[in-house]
Amino acid sequence: MRELLNSEAYVDEAPATVYAKLLDDGEYYCSISTMYRILREHGEVRERRRQATHPPRVKPELVATGPNRVWTWDITKLAGPARGVWFCLYVLIDIYSRYTPGWMVAATEDADLAHRFLDATIGNHDIDPDTLTVHADRGGPMKSKSVAELLSDLQVSRSHSRPKTSNDNPYSESQFKTLKYRPAFPERFDSIEHAREFCGEFFTWYNHDHRHSGVGLHTPASVHFGTAPQIRRHRGTVLADAHAAHPERFVHGTPQPPKLPGTVWINPPTEKEATPGPTN
């Protein structure tokens, strides 16, 4: 098992991701915890960055029980070829599926570009009126009059974080960390075209290949477009076959694949008990 985990195909993957990919290929070797134990015995488990498990219990309070209910968006800076040169990456993420419906790299951060970005992205998706909320922090483009008027015209609700409170937008913050912790992420981009090429490859991987721990180790695209239940059933069959072949290896009975997301929150209300969504 150690040889497989350290093979070229999986050496850069977390054990949970390897586990999910093997199940998707119809193979079961051992549990995630066993993978960690094998790596730990050889000093090959690296410390992993902590993730927020609970957003603060204050407003804004947003809930999603399916895709295209709550999107969050933010802008992050990418270092350009020289000191003081920056490119701006605009990104939307669906908090339920973790799917990225749209992104854009531009030379500047301003309200007109934000307007065009949101208009194009929302227009490219089949969004029913009054069903989507778009959440953002309180940056200039996010609070601009043109963006507010656009969302009103499109019958899309808008929401904002509290000032200086990044935990009010945890999904965008977490995705930016994933982007910038990638081994291939450069210290500087040679040009805006280089930045766009890199981001194109990243978001293709993130949407279609990344087995996300927040959505039951499925890809965001699979959850967003509804193929995840079928894949989960397939994973269950693989695990059931593994249990039938070697029941002595499973002291707790037939293992079950990770659950799909249920109710996903940004700041669940404090007045009543709420079912928390998966970690981000």
With bands split at pLDDT 50, 70 and 90, how would you rate the model's confidence at 28? very high
Here the tokens at position 8 are: 């070229």
pLDDT reported for residue 40: 85
Q: Report all structural domains of the chain as residue ranges with CATH numbers, in order of start.
A: 2-48+225-249 (no CATH), 62-214 (3.30.420.10)
pLDDT at 42: 81
Does residue 99 register a pLDDT over 90? yes
Least confident range from 53-62, 119-128, 175-184, 185-194: namely: 53-62
Average pLDDT over residues 34-55: 68
Output the pLDDT for position 46: 62
- Please state, in angstroms and rounded to a whole number, the distance separating the CA atoms of residues 69 and 130: 9
Is residue 39 within 8 A of residue 244, CB to CB? The reply is: no
Report the pLDDT averaged over residues 221-238. Answer: 97
Structure confidence by residue, pLDDT tens digits, 105-163: 999 999 999 999 999 999 999 899 999 999 999 999 999 999 999 999 999 999 999 88
What's the mean pLDDT when you consider all of the chain? 90
Task: Please state, in angstroms and rounded to a whole number, the distance separating the CA atoms of residues 203 and 92.
Answer: 11
pLDDT surpassing 90 at residue 178: yes
- Region 26-44: what's the mean pLDDT? 89
Distances (CA, A) of 150 to 112, 114, 122, 157: 11, 10, 10, 10
The beta strands (E) that lie in the chain are given as 62-64, 70-79, 86-94, 102-106, 133-136, 157-160, 264-266
Measured CA to CA, the distance from residue 26 to residue 47 in angstroms comes to 30
Question: Alpha-carbon distance 157 to 137, whole Å?
Answer: 14
CA 205/CA 182 separation, integer angstroms: 11
Q: What is the pLDDT of residue 271?
A: 54
Please compute the mean of the pLDDT values over residues 232-255 and round it to a whole number. Answer: 96
In contact, 27 and 238? CB cutoff 8 Å: yes
The pLDDT of residue 275:
42
Q: Worst-scoring range by mean pLDDT, 7-16, 65-74, 104-113, 240-249?
A: 7-16
Give pLDDT, residue 279.
Answer: 46
Of the chain, the percentage scoring pLDDT greater than 90 comes to 76
Asked if the model's pLDDT at residue 90 lies above 60, the reply is yes
